[in-house]
Amino acid sequence: MNYDRRRFLAASAAAIAASSVPCLSGQEIDSDTQNTICVFTKPFNSLSFDELAEKISQIGYDGIEAPIRRGGHIEPDKVADELPKLVEALAKRNLQITVMTSDINDADDPLTERVLRTAATLGIKRYRMKYVQYSDDIGVADQIANWHDQFVDLAAMNHDFGITGLYQNHAGAKYMGAAIWDLDQVLDGIAPSDIGMAYDIRHATVEGGTSWPTTLRMIRDHIDTVYVKDFVWEGRKMVNVPLGEGLVNPSFFKMLSDTDFSGPISLHEEYIDHKVPELVPQHLAAIKKDLATVKSMIKRGEQ
């Protein structure tokens, strides 16, 4: 699908100018905190939709981040048939798909329009994009310019469907966005309501060490959603740990509060093997404990 990039960028610039901090206000409000809190349900692929909805509702989350991608709850080519069933099962428990994790990053991919059209029709407001990675064969500046053009086209499609794409920063030598400054350049001129950022404090801490507050301030106007999880270093190896037991600085939530961030918060529990169905009870206990921790961190940050 082809879009008039110049016309779309002009519209995006107008949308950005219309709001002083467009991605930090006017989003879902939870009764317990000012933020909707969802949980990434990657460890629960073995559950039926109804079982998943029941378990997540009992714990107290507002919604889920659902892996609608290859190997996830729903395969991309089955979205039209299966995604309505998942949305219906969640709705029975007053839950929503807060974020849909996807394999999408290119408007020209034949599945992109089909998946986004279905999601938008079902009222899903956000999806996480698939990562893009650096090649050693092309200059960094050229790759950033190419991704900017690619994201502009995707943002135009998102705009048409009324859905927001989210690009997550992910630690690692090859990931665009790991350093955050490069993602800031790629998103330049794109309205956060079309493509925003899923800011992951765990990955930002891994890459930024003690300097993550600086890049947070740089990118904050693009932030739509926040991801929370924790880690420690064991030698040179990163090891995931329960939230509050690692190196993620609780002052992060104070910084969020100071910017009046009211977007969704997605909790990722990655310290138990998600590939073993027999560990589902342990995962459920873990996300219940992490939910209490993140709510406590948010409350302290607001004081």
Q: Cα–Cα distance between 241 and 246 in angstroms, integer? A: 6
- Tens of pLDDT along 183-232? 999 999 999 999 999 999 999 999 999 999 999 999 999 999 999 999 99
Cβ of 156: how many Cβ atoms within 10 Å?
Answer: 23
DSSP 196-224: EEEEEHHHHHHHHTT-HHHHHHHHGGGEE
Give the pLDDT of residue 175.
98
Is a pLDDT exceeding 90 seen at residue 31? Answer: no
The three-class DSSP label of residue 80 is: helix
pLDDT for the residue numbered 134:
98
Query: Taking the model in full, what pTM does it have?
Result: 0.90
Q: What share of the chain is helix, strand, coil (3-state, %, to 5)?
A: 45, 15, 40
Single out the residue of 52, 33, 101, 90 nearest to residue 293, CA to CA. 33
Q: List, in order, residues 6 or more apart from 295 with CB less than 8 Å away.
A: 32, 33, 37
CA dihedral 267, 88, 223, 255 (to 10 degrees): -40
Distance in angstroms (rounded) separating the CA atoms of residues 282 and 54: 16
Q: CB under 8 Å to 33, separation ≥6 — which residues? A: 295, 298, 299
Interatomic CA distance for residues 209 and 213, integer angstroms? 10
The model's pLDDT over 49-99, given as tens digits with 9 standing for 90+, comes to 999 999 999 999 999 999 999 999 999 999 999 999 999 999 999 999 999
Residue 12 has pLDDT above 80, yes or no: no
pLDDT at 22: 36
Q: Give the strand pairing for 223-228 and 195-200.
A: parallel
Say which amino acid occupies 28. Answer: E
The domain 5-11+22-302 having CATH identifier 3.40.50.1820: the answer here is no
Hey, where are the domains in the chain? 5-11+22-302
Q: Of all residues in the chain, what percent carry a pLDDT higher than 70?
A: 89
pLDDT (average), residues 11-24: 45
Report how far residue 15's alpha carbon sits from residue 253's, in angstroms, rounded to the nearest whole number.
27
**What number is the average pLDDT over the span 99-113?**
97
